[in-house]
Structure 1
């Protein structure tokens, strides 16, 4: 029996700052090249989570690499239910204070 399940591997983004983009083909062997900035000379690269540290070490040894930065997005908690002050208060009506504002039109001298 065949199961059609897609297994996702956790990945991490790396920003690789380079001196020149001539060696872009060499970067493709380290992971998936997602974006290349020709003007600012950096490459966004996605690698498997379990091989991040050794990939960073290998990239830093390359002669055309200036520096390597990790993306910390997988480390951020993206659950915002109790952080914005909406803690199960959907039953109560919201109180609004009516502001008394005065609208004045600009006067033009012709």
Structure 2
């Protein structure tokens, strides 16, 4: 139903020019202080888009975001010790 999306972190040197990154995908966040942008795009054709991004003069580095692959379901193996510390 929905296309697979991949996130990329794009490090840039010019904030004004970085606002134009939205034509390469969904621009999620721009950091003015740390000079990076979070960009989401479709998985098919993302390699070609990354190559185009790396050729831009204001782009320093493009990294893949592994946020979608991090385990977010936690299990509690430690017993609850709150009853021992009660008044």
Same fold (TM over 0.5): yes
TM-score range, shorter chain: 0.7 to 0.9
Query: Does residue 11 of the first structure (1) align with residue 8 of the second (2)?
Result: no
Higher-strand-fraction structure: 2
1 CA distance for matches of 2:19 and 2:62? 17
Q: Structure 1 residues 8, 24: closer, same or farther in 2, change over 3 A?
A: same
Structure 2 residue runs without a partner (length 5+): none
1 CA distance for matches of 2:84 and 2:48? 60
> Bigger relative contact order, structure 1 or 2, given CA contacts below 8 A and separation 6+?
2
1:78 deviates by 4.3
1 CA distance for matches of 2:41 and 2:84? 53
Q: How many residues are aligned here?
A: 85
TM, length-normalised to structure 2: 0.76
* Secondary structure of the corresponding residue to residue 50 of structure 1: coil
> Residue 37 of structure 1 corresponds to which residue in structure 2?
31
1:35 deviates by 0.6
> Residue 57 of structure 1 corresponds to which residue in structure 2?
51
1:59 deviates by 0.7
TM, length-normalised to structure 1: 0.61
Runs of 4 or more consecutive aligned structure 1 residues displaced over 4 Å after TM superposition: 77-80, 94-97
Structure 1 residue runs without a partner (length 5+): 1-6, 87-93, 102-110
